[in-house]
Amino acid sequence: MTDQKTLDTAKVMVDFNQMKSFGQDPLVLERGVGVRVWDVFGKEYIDGLSGVFTVNLGHGMSQFADVAAEQMRTLSFSAPTMSTNPPAIKLAEYLCSLVPDQFNTVKFASGGSEANEFAIKMARQYHAQTGNPRKYKVISRWGSYHGSTGFAGAASAQPEWKSKYDPYPEGFIHVPRRTPEDIEEAIVGENAESIAAVIAEPVMLSAGVRVPDPDYFPKLREICDRHNVLLIFDEIITGFGRTGHIFAAEMFGVWPDILSCGKGISGGYAPLAAILIADKVANAFWGDPAQGIQFLSGHTYGGNPVSCAVGEAVVRYLVENDVVGNAQRVGNYLADGLRDLGERQPAISEVRGVGMMRCLAFHEPIGRAVYSACRRNGLLTRPAHDWIGVAPPLVTTEQEADEIIAIIEKSIPEALAG
Ligand SMILES: Cc1ncc(COP(=O)(O)O)c(C=O)c1O
Protein backbone atom coordinates (compact mmCIF):
# COMPACT_ATOMS: atom_id res chain seq x y z
CA MET A 1 0.00 0.00 0.00
CA THR A 2 1.24 3.50 -0.84
CA ASP A 3 2.09 5.70 2.12
CA GLN A 4 -0.74 8.20 1.70
CA LYS A 5 1.23 10.89 3.56
CA THR A 6 3.68 11.05 0.68
CA LEU A 7 0.91 11.84 -1.84
CA ASP A 8 0.08 15.51 -2.35
CA THR A 9 -3.42 15.24 -3.84
CA ALA A 10 -3.51 18.97 -4.56
CA LYS A 11 -0.88 18.47 -7.27
CA VAL A 12 -3.39 16.79 -9.58
CA MET A 13 -6.41 18.74 -10.80
CA VAL A 14 -9.21 16.18 -10.87
CA ASP A 15 -11.92 16.63 -13.54
CA PHE A 16 -14.97 18.66 -12.56
CA ASN A 17 -13.99 18.65 -8.84
CA GLN A 18 -13.24 21.53 -6.50
CA MET A 19 -9.74 20.67 -5.45
CA LYS A 20 -10.09 22.15 -1.98
CA SER A 21 -12.86 19.78 -0.95
CA PHE A 22 -11.43 16.90 -2.98
CA GLY A 23 -8.21 17.20 -0.99
CA GLN A 24 -10.16 16.97 2.28
CA ASP A 25 -11.57 13.57 1.32
CA PRO A 26 -9.57 12.39 -1.69
CA LEU A 27 -10.34 9.28 -3.68
CA VAL A 28 -6.94 7.93 -4.68
CA LEU A 29 -7.33 4.51 -6.23
CA GLU A 30 -4.37 2.21 -6.18
CA ARG A 31 -5.35 -1.17 -7.59
CA GLY A 32 -8.26 -3.18 -8.89
CA VAL A 33 -9.35 -6.77 -9.49
CA GLY A 34 -12.60 -7.71 -11.21
CA VAL A 35 -15.38 -5.37 -10.07
CA ARG A 36 -13.39 -4.18 -7.04
CA VAL A 37 -10.88 -1.39 -6.50
CA TRP A 38 -8.86 -0.36 -3.46
CA ASP A 39 -7.74 3.11 -2.45
CA VAL A 40 -4.38 4.08 -0.96
CA PHE A 41 -5.83 3.71 2.55
CA GLY A 42 -6.65 0.08 1.78
CA LYS A 43 -10.40 0.71 1.63
CA GLU A 44 -12.26 -1.58 -0.78
CA TYR A 45 -15.00 -0.40 -3.17
CA ILE A 46 -17.22 -2.07 -5.71
CA ASP A 47 -16.61 -0.11 -8.89
CA GLY A 48 -20.29 0.45 -9.59
CA LEU A 49 -19.49 2.78 -12.48
CA SER A 50 -16.81 0.76 -14.31
CA GLY A 51 -14.37 3.63 -13.75
CA VAL A 52 -16.53 5.90 -15.81
CA PHE A 53 -18.46 3.46 -18.06
CA THR A 54 -15.07 2.25 -19.28
CA VAL A 55 -13.78 -0.80 -17.40
CA ASN A 56 -16.33 -3.10 -19.05
CA LEU A 57 -14.35 -6.30 -18.43
CA GLY A 58 -13.35 -5.43 -14.88
CA HIS A 59 -9.95 -4.54 -13.46
CA GLY A 60 -6.62 -6.32 -13.31
CA MET A 61 -6.71 -8.59 -16.38
CA SER A 62 -3.05 -9.38 -16.87
CA GLN A 63 -3.49 -10.74 -20.40
CA PHE A 64 -4.00 -7.16 -21.62
CA ALA A 65 -0.84 -6.05 -19.82
CA ASP A 66 0.97 -8.82 -21.73
CA VAL A 67 -0.48 -7.61 -25.05
CA ALA A 68 0.60 -4.02 -24.27
CA ALA A 69 4.10 -5.10 -23.20
CA GLU A 70 4.57 -7.25 -26.29
CA GLN A 71 3.45 -4.42 -28.59
CA MET A 72 5.68 -1.92 -26.75
CA ARG A 73 8.64 -4.18 -27.39
CA THR A 74 7.70 -4.51 -31.06
CA LEU A 75 6.64 -0.95 -31.92
CA SER A 76 5.30 1.51 -29.37
CA PHE A 77 4.49 4.40 -31.70
CA SER A 78 3.92 5.17 -35.34
CA ALA A 79 3.33 8.71 -36.55
CA PRO A 80 -0.34 9.00 -37.53
CA THR A 81 0.53 11.86 -39.89
CA MET A 82 2.41 9.58 -42.27
CA SER A 83 1.78 5.97 -41.28
CA THR A 84 -0.44 3.39 -39.73
CA ASN A 85 0.50 0.04 -38.16
CA PRO A 86 -0.66 -3.61 -38.07
CA PRO A 87 -2.55 -3.37 -34.74
CA ALA A 88 -4.56 -0.37 -36.02
CA ILE A 89 -5.39 -2.17 -39.28
CA LYS A 90 -6.34 -5.38 -37.48
CA LEU A 91 -8.55 -3.56 -34.99
CA ALA A 92 -10.23 -1.60 -37.80
CA GLU A 93 -10.93 -4.85 -39.66
CA TYR A 94 -12.34 -6.47 -36.54
CA LEU A 95 -14.55 -3.50 -35.68
CA CYS A 96 -15.92 -3.45 -39.23
CA SER A 97 -16.77 -7.15 -38.92
CA LEU A 98 -19.04 -6.33 -35.95
CA VAL A 99 -21.21 -3.77 -37.76
CA PRO A 100 -23.26 -3.81 -40.99
CA ASP A 101 -21.57 -3.95 -44.40
CA GLN A 102 -21.78 -0.22 -45.04
CA PHE A 103 -19.04 0.45 -42.45
CA ASN A 104 -15.58 -0.14 -43.91
CA THR A 105 -13.53 2.77 -42.60
CA VAL A 106 -12.33 3.59 -39.10
CA LYS A 107 -10.53 6.64 -37.79
CA PHE A 108 -8.87 6.28 -34.40
CA ALA A 109 -8.57 8.85 -31.63
CA SER A 110 -7.40 8.71 -28.05
CA GLY A 111 -10.62 9.81 -26.33
CA GLY A 112 -14.32 10.29 -26.87
CA SER A 113 -14.19 14.07 -27.25
CA GLU A 114 -11.64 13.73 -30.05
CA ALA A 115 -13.83 11.14 -31.74
CA ASN A 116 -16.87 13.44 -31.67
CA GLU A 117 -14.70 16.33 -32.83
CA PHE A 118 -13.78 14.19 -35.85
CA ALA A 119 -17.41 13.22 -36.45
CA ILE A 120 -18.58 16.82 -36.53
CA LYS A 121 -15.73 18.03 -38.75
CA MET A 122 -16.25 15.08 -41.05
CA ALA A 123 -19.97 15.81 -41.40
CA ARG A 124 -19.24 19.40 -42.41
CA GLN A 125 -16.53 18.43 -44.87
CA TYR A 126 -18.74 15.67 -46.28
CA HIS A 127 -21.41 18.18 -47.25
CA ALA A 128 -18.84 20.64 -48.60
CA GLN A 129 -17.48 17.85 -50.81
CA THR A 130 -20.86 16.62 -52.02
CA GLY A 131 -22.16 19.93 -53.33
CA ASN A 132 -23.70 21.41 -50.16
CA PRO A 133 -21.12 23.79 -48.69
CA ARG A 134 -23.80 25.72 -46.81
CA LYS A 135 -24.70 22.72 -44.65
CA TYR A 136 -22.67 23.28 -41.49
CA LYS A 137 -25.01 23.43 -38.47
CA VAL A 138 -25.12 20.58 -35.97
CA ILE A 139 -28.20 19.69 -33.96
CA SER A 140 -27.97 18.01 -30.57
CA ARG A 141 -30.30 17.55 -27.62
CA TRP A 142 -30.64 19.31 -24.29
CA GLY A 143 -28.99 17.33 -21.54
CA SER A 144 -26.52 15.66 -23.88
CA TYR A 145 -22.79 15.37 -23.26
CA HIS A 146 -20.48 14.84 -26.21
CA GLY A 147 -17.15 15.85 -24.70
CA SER A 148 -15.26 18.87 -23.49
CA THR A 149 -13.29 19.99 -26.55
CA GLY A 150 -14.45 22.84 -28.81
CA PHE A 151 -16.99 21.34 -31.21
CA ALA A 152 -17.88 18.41 -28.91
CA GLY A 153 -18.40 20.91 -26.08
CA ALA A 154 -20.48 23.15 -28.32
CA ALA A 155 -22.69 20.19 -29.21
CA SER A 156 -23.08 19.31 -25.53
CA ALA A 157 -25.93 20.90 -23.64
CA GLN A 158 -25.00 20.85 -19.98
CA PRO A 159 -25.41 24.49 -18.92
CA GLU A 160 -23.61 24.22 -15.59
CA TRP A 161 -20.44 22.84 -17.22
CA LYS A 162 -20.46 24.80 -20.43
CA SER A 163 -21.18 28.36 -19.39
CA LYS A 164 -17.66 28.93 -18.03
CA TYR A 165 -16.25 28.64 -21.52
CA ASP A 166 -18.64 30.79 -23.52
CA PRO A 167 -18.64 31.81 -26.26
CA TYR A 168 -18.66 28.56 -28.19
CA PRO A 169 -18.51 28.49 -31.99
CA GLU A 170 -21.78 29.25 -33.72
CA GLY A 171 -23.69 26.68 -35.71
CA PHE A 172 -24.73 24.41 -32.84
CA ILE A 173 -28.46 24.09 -32.26
CA HIS A 174 -29.95 22.41 -29.19
CA VAL A 175 -33.42 20.91 -29.10
CA PRO A 176 -35.54 18.99 -26.56
CA ARG A 177 -34.97 15.25 -26.46
CA ARG A 178 -38.62 14.27 -26.28
CA THR A 179 -39.55 13.43 -29.86
CA PRO A 180 -37.86 13.17 -33.26
CA GLU A 181 -40.40 15.75 -34.44
CA ASP A 182 -38.63 18.30 -32.17
CA ILE A 183 -35.53 17.68 -34.26
CA GLU A 184 -37.36 17.94 -37.56
CA GLU A 185 -38.88 21.22 -36.44
CA ALA A 186 -35.37 22.55 -35.78
CA ILE A 187 -34.10 21.25 -39.14
CA VAL A 188 -36.93 22.96 -41.00
CA GLY A 189 -36.93 26.06 -38.78
CA GLU A 190 -33.19 26.60 -39.25
CA ASN A 191 -33.51 25.75 -42.97
CA ALA A 192 -32.52 22.20 -43.90
CA GLU A 193 -30.07 23.65 -46.42
CA SER A 194 -27.91 24.74 -43.46
CA ILE A 195 -28.00 21.54 -41.38
CA ALA A 196 -25.04 19.17 -41.61
CA ALA A 197 -25.75 16.63 -38.88
CA VAL A 198 -27.69 15.49 -35.86
CA ILE A 199 -25.54 14.03 -33.08
CA ALA A 200 -27.24 11.89 -30.43
CA GLU A 201 -26.36 9.49 -27.63
CA PRO A 202 -28.69 6.51 -28.22
CA VAL A 203 -29.20 6.31 -24.44
CA MET A 204 -28.53 9.70 -22.85
CA LEU A 205 -26.44 9.33 -19.74
CA SER A 206 -25.99 12.87 -18.47
CA ALA A 207 -29.66 13.67 -19.02
CA GLY A 208 -30.43 10.95 -16.44
CA VAL A 209 -30.07 7.65 -18.33
CA ARG A 210 -32.90 8.22 -20.80
CA VAL A 211 -33.86 5.32 -23.04
CA PRO A 212 -35.97 6.57 -25.95
CA ASP A 213 -39.11 4.89 -27.30
CA PRO A 214 -38.35 2.11 -29.80
CA ASP A 215 -39.60 4.24 -32.71
CA TYR A 216 -37.53 7.33 -31.82
CA PHE A 217 -34.42 6.44 -33.82
CA PRO A 218 -36.19 4.82 -36.80
CA LYS A 219 -38.14 8.06 -37.18
CA LEU A 220 -35.06 10.20 -36.69
CA ARG A 221 -33.18 8.15 -39.30
CA GLU A 222 -35.99 8.78 -41.78
CA ILE A 223 -36.07 12.51 -40.97
CA CYS A 224 -32.30 12.85 -41.42
CA ASP A 225 -32.41 11.01 -44.75
CA ARG A 226 -35.30 13.12 -46.02
CA HIS A 227 -33.40 16.36 -45.30
CA ASN A 228 -29.94 15.09 -46.32
CA VAL A 229 -28.67 15.46 -42.77
CA LEU A 230 -26.04 13.04 -41.45
CA LEU A 231 -26.88 11.07 -38.33
CA ILE A 232 -24.04 10.67 -35.82
CA PHE A 233 -24.43 8.25 -32.92
CA ASP A 234 -22.31 9.07 -29.91
CA GLU A 235 -21.78 5.54 -28.58
CA ILE A 236 -18.88 6.52 -26.33
CA ILE A 237 -20.78 5.04 -23.37
CA THR A 238 -23.26 2.72 -25.06
CA GLY A 239 -20.74 1.02 -27.35
CA PHE A 240 -19.15 -2.35 -26.57
CA GLY A 241 -21.89 -4.04 -24.66
CA ARG A 242 -23.10 -1.50 -22.13
CA THR A 243 -26.74 -1.77 -23.26
CA GLY A 244 -26.67 -5.56 -23.60
CA HIS A 245 -25.90 -5.19 -27.32
CA ILE A 246 -22.48 -4.61 -28.86
CA PHE A 247 -23.76 -1.25 -30.07
CA ALA A 248 -26.99 0.49 -29.10
CA ALA A 249 -27.59 0.98 -32.83
CA GLU A 250 -28.27 -2.76 -32.97
CA MET A 251 -30.83 -2.45 -30.17
CA PHE A 252 -32.76 0.22 -32.09
CA GLY A 253 -32.23 -1.42 -35.49
CA VAL A 254 -30.94 1.88 -36.82
CA TRP A 255 -27.41 2.65 -37.97
CA PRO A 256 -25.94 6.12 -38.18
CA ASP A 257 -23.66 7.54 -40.87
CA ILE A 258 -20.88 8.02 -38.34
CA LEU A 259 -20.66 6.08 -35.09
CA SER A 260 -18.27 7.37 -32.42
CA CYS A 261 -17.07 5.00 -29.74
CA GLY A 262 -14.48 5.01 -26.97
CA LYS A 263 -14.31 3.99 -23.32
CA GLY A 264 -15.23 0.26 -23.50
CA ILE A 265 -13.29 -0.16 -26.78
CA SER A 266 -10.20 -0.73 -24.64
CA GLY A 267 -11.96 -1.46 -21.35
CA GLY A 268 -9.79 1.16 -19.66
CA TYR A 269 -6.58 -0.74 -20.47
CA ALA A 270 -5.33 1.95 -22.89
CA PRO A 271 -6.51 5.36 -24.14
CA LEU A 272 -8.49 4.68 -27.32
CA ALA A 273 -11.55 5.86 -29.24
CA ALA A 274 -12.74 5.68 -32.83
CA ILE A 275 -15.28 6.71 -35.38
CA LEU A 276 -16.78 4.10 -37.69
CA ILE A 277 -17.58 5.74 -40.99
CA ALA A 278 -20.26 4.53 -43.41
CA ASP A 279 -19.17 4.21 -47.06
CA LYS A 280 -21.54 6.99 -48.10
CA VAL A 281 -19.42 9.40 -46.03
CA ALA A 282 -16.01 7.77 -46.51
CA ASN A 283 -16.41 7.82 -50.31
CA ALA A 284 -16.57 11.62 -50.26
CA PHE A 285 -13.00 11.66 -48.94
CA TRP A 286 -11.58 9.22 -51.52
CA GLY A 287 -9.82 10.74 -54.54
CA ASP A 288 -6.58 12.00 -55.99
CA PRO A 289 -4.26 14.14 -53.84
CA ALA A 290 -4.77 17.04 -56.25
CA GLN A 291 -8.46 17.15 -55.32
CA GLY A 292 -7.56 18.00 -51.72
CA ILE A 293 -10.55 16.12 -50.34
CA GLN A 294 -8.76 14.11 -47.65
CA PHE A 295 -9.80 14.50 -44.02
CA LEU A 296 -7.57 17.13 -42.46
CA SER A 297 -7.65 16.50 -38.75
CA GLY A 298 -5.70 14.19 -36.47
CA HIS A 299 -4.06 13.67 -33.10
CA THR A 300 -0.64 12.31 -32.16
CA TYR A 301 -1.93 9.28 -30.25
CA GLY A 302 -4.67 8.38 -32.75
CA GLY A 303 -4.22 4.79 -33.88
CA ASN A 304 -1.38 4.22 -31.43
CA PRO A 305 -0.17 0.63 -31.92
CA VAL A 306 -0.16 -0.21 -28.21
CA SER A 307 -3.70 1.14 -27.70
CA CYS A 308 -4.97 -0.63 -30.80
CA ALA A 309 -3.35 -3.97 -29.88
CA VAL A 310 -4.97 -3.75 -26.44
CA GLY A 311 -8.26 -2.63 -28.02
CA GLU A 312 -8.38 -5.64 -30.32
CA ALA A 313 -7.67 -8.03 -27.43
CA VAL A 314 -10.35 -6.36 -25.29
CA VAL A 315 -13.05 -6.33 -27.98
CA ARG A 316 -12.32 -9.94 -28.95
CA TYR A 317 -12.59 -10.97 -25.29
CA LEU A 318 -15.90 -9.11 -25.02
CA VAL A 319 -17.33 -10.81 -28.09
CA GLU A 320 -15.91 -14.30 -27.55
CA ASN A 321 -16.88 -14.67 -23.87
CA ASP A 322 -20.54 -13.66 -24.04
CA VAL A 323 -19.80 -10.59 -21.91
CA VAL A 324 -22.55 -8.74 -23.76
CA GLY A 325 -25.06 -11.48 -22.89
CA ASN A 326 -24.00 -11.22 -19.24
CA ALA A 327 -24.55 -7.45 -19.38
CA GLN A 328 -28.10 -8.08 -20.52
CA ARG A 329 -28.89 -10.86 -18.04
CA VAL A 330 -27.24 -9.40 -14.94
CA GLY A 331 -28.27 -5.88 -16.01
CA ASN A 332 -31.91 -7.01 -15.91
CA TYR A 333 -31.32 -8.76 -12.60
CA LEU A 334 -29.80 -5.56 -11.19
CA ALA A 335 -32.73 -3.50 -12.48
CA ASP A 336 -35.26 -5.92 -10.92
CA GLY A 337 -33.40 -5.66 -7.62
CA LEU A 338 -33.34 -1.87 -7.79
CA ARG A 339 -37.07 -1.84 -8.56
CA ASP A 340 -37.72 -4.10 -5.57
CA LEU A 341 -35.70 -1.66 -3.51
CA GLY A 342 -37.92 1.12 -4.88
CA GLU A 343 -40.92 -0.74 -3.38
CA ARG A 344 -39.26 -0.72 0.04
CA GLN A 345 -37.68 2.75 -0.08
CA PRO A 346 -40.13 5.63 -0.75
CA ALA A 347 -37.30 8.10 -1.52
CA ILE A 348 -36.86 6.32 -4.88
CA SER A 349 -39.02 7.69 -7.67
CA GLU A 350 -37.91 5.64 -10.65
CA VAL A 351 -35.42 3.10 -11.97
CA ARG A 352 -34.36 3.86 -15.55
CA GLY A 353 -31.94 2.38 -18.02
CA VAL A 354 -31.04 -0.68 -20.04
CA GLY A 355 -28.45 -3.43 -19.86
CA MET A 356 -25.70 -2.58 -17.41
CA MET A 357 -26.50 1.15 -17.55
CA ARG A 358 -29.02 2.01 -14.85
CA CYS A 359 -30.07 4.97 -12.82
CA LEU A 360 -31.92 5.32 -9.56
CA ALA A 361 -33.92 8.54 -9.45
CA PHE A 362 -35.15 10.17 -6.23
CA HIS A 363 -38.09 12.42 -5.35
CA GLU A 364 -35.68 14.79 -3.56
CA PRO A 365 -32.33 16.23 -4.69
CA ILE A 366 -30.34 13.67 -2.67
CA GLY A 367 -28.24 12.21 -5.50
CA ARG A 368 -24.95 13.62 -4.24
CA ALA A 369 -25.69 12.64 -0.64
CA VAL A 370 -26.51 9.08 -1.72
CA TYR A 371 -23.32 8.99 -3.77
CA SER A 372 -21.29 10.05 -0.69
CA ALA A 373 -23.00 7.53 1.58
CA CYS A 374 -22.46 4.75 -0.98
CA ARG A 375 -18.80 5.73 -1.21
CA ARG A 376 -18.45 5.56 2.58
CA ASN A 377 -20.09 2.15 2.44
CA GLY A 378 -17.79 0.86 -0.30
CA LEU A 379 -19.58 1.50 -3.60
CA LEU A 380 -18.70 3.97 -6.35
CA THR A 381 -21.58 5.38 -8.41
CA ARG A 382 -22.28 8.40 -10.64
CA PRO A 383 -23.69 11.32 -8.66
CA ALA A 384 -26.22 13.81 -10.03
CA HIS A 385 -28.72 16.24 -8.54
CA ASP A 386 -31.60 13.82 -8.01
CA TRP A 387 -30.26 10.49 -9.27
CA ILE A 388 -27.28 8.19 -9.15
CA GLY A 389 -25.97 6.16 -12.06
CA VAL A 390 -25.16 2.49 -11.50
CA ALA A 391 -23.15 0.89 -14.29
CA PRO A 392 -20.80 -1.79 -12.98
CA PRO A 393 -18.49 -3.83 -15.22
CA LEU A 394 -20.34 -6.00 -17.74
CA VAL A 395 -18.86 -9.10 -16.08
CA THR A 396 -20.64 -8.39 -12.77
CA THR A 397 -22.27 -11.49 -11.23
CA GLU A 398 -25.72 -11.69 -9.62
CA GLN A 399 -24.05 -11.95 -6.19
CA GLU A 400 -22.12 -8.74 -6.88
CA ALA A 401 -25.32 -7.07 -8.08
CA ASP A 402 -26.92 -8.08 -4.76
CA GLU A 403 -24.01 -6.47 -2.92
CA ILE A 404 -24.49 -3.25 -4.90
CA ILE A 405 -28.19 -3.15 -4.06
CA ALA A 406 -27.52 -3.87 -0.36
CA ILE A 407 -25.05 -0.99 -0.14
CA ILE A 408 -27.47 1.40 -1.84
CA GLU A 409 -30.26 0.26 0.50
CA LYS A 410 -28.07 0.98 3.53
CA SER A 411 -26.88 4.32 2.10
CA ILE A 412 -30.19 6.00 1.24
CA PRO A 413 -31.39 6.37 4.89
CA GLU A 414 -27.94 7.70 5.80
CA ALA A 415 -28.21 10.26 3.00
CA LEU A 416 -31.72 11.24 4.11
CA ALA A 417 -30.48 11.64 7.68
CA GLY A 418 -28.04 14.24 6.35
C1 LIG B 1 -21.64 10.23 -24.28
C2 LIG B 1 -20.25 10.76 -24.18
N3 LIG B 1 -19.67 11.29 -25.25
C4 LIG B 1 -18.41 11.76 -25.23
C5 LIG B 1 -17.66 11.74 -24.07
C6 LIG B 1 -16.28 12.29 -24.05
O7 LIG B 1 -15.35 11.27 -23.97
P8 LIG B 1 -13.89 11.54 -23.35
O9 LIG B 1 -14.08 11.91 -21.92
O10 LIG B 1 -13.19 10.22 -23.54
O11 LIG B 1 -13.27 12.64 -24.14
C12 LIG B 1 -18.23 11.18 -22.91
C13 LIG B 1 -17.44 11.12 -21.67
O14 LIG B 1 -17.92 10.78 -20.61
C15 LIG B 1 -19.55 10.68 -22.97
O16 LIG B 1 -20.13 10.18 -21.88
Q: Is the peptide bond before 167 cis (omega within 30 degrees of 0)?
A: yes
The model's pLDDT over 10-23, given as tens digits with 9 standing for 90+, comes to 889 999 999 999 98
Of 320, 350, 385, which closes a domain? 320
Are 346 and 297 in a shared domain?
no
Q: Which of these ranges, 3-7, 221-225, 327-331, has the smallest mean pLDDT?
A: 3-7
Q: Is residue 336 part of a domain?
A: yes
Domain count, the chain: 2
The model's pLDDT over 20-47, given as tens digits with 9 standing for 90+, comes to 999 899 999 999 999 999 999 999 999 9
- The rounded Å distance from CA 220 to ligand 1 centre is 22
Which of 144, 233, 237 is the best mutation target for the ligand 1 pocket, counting ligand atoms within 8 Å of the beta carbon and taking the most? 237
The model's pLDDT over 110-164, given as tens digits with 9 standing for 90+, comes to 999 999 999 999 999 999 999 999 999 999 999 999 999 999 999 999 877 788 8
Are 215 and 341 in a shared domain?
no
Dihedral over alpha carbons 316, 317, 322, 323 (to 10 degrees): -120
Percent of the chain with pLDDT over 90: 94
Are 335 and 377 in a shared domain?
yes
Are 252 and 380 in a shared domain?
no
Range of the domain at 331: 4-61+322-416
Q: How far is CA 36 from CA 43, 260, 322, in A?
A: 10, 28, 21
- The rounded Å distance from CA 287 to ligand 1 centre is 32
Q: How far apart are alpha carbons 384 and 294 in whole angstroms? A: 41
Are 116 and 192 in a shared domain?
yes
- The rounded Å distance from CA 146 to ligand 1 centre is 6
Tell me which residues have their CB closer than 6 angstroms to ligand 1: 52, 111-113, 116, 145-147, 201, 205, 234, 236-237, 262
Which of 263, 266, 382 is the best mutation target for the ligand 1 pocket, counting ligand atoms within 8 Å of the beta carbon and taking the most? 263
Is the pLDDT at 8 greater than 90? The verdict is: no
Locate the ligand 1 atom nearest the alpha carbon of residue 144 and give its number. 1
Which of 145, 161, 232, 357 is the best mutation target for the ligand 1 pocket, counting ligand atoms within 8 Å of the beta carbon and taking the most? 145
Q: Are 361 and 335 in contact (CB under 8 A)?
A: no
200's enclosing H/E stretch is: strand 195-200
Q: Are 329 and 394 in contact (CB under 8 A)?
A: no
Mean pLDDT value across the chain: 96
Of 320, 337, 363, which closes a domain? 320
The model's pLDDT over 229-280, given as tens digits with 9 standing for 90+, comes to 999 999 999 999 999 999 999 999 999 999 999 999 999 999 999 999 999 9
Q: What is the pLDDT of residue 214?
A: 97
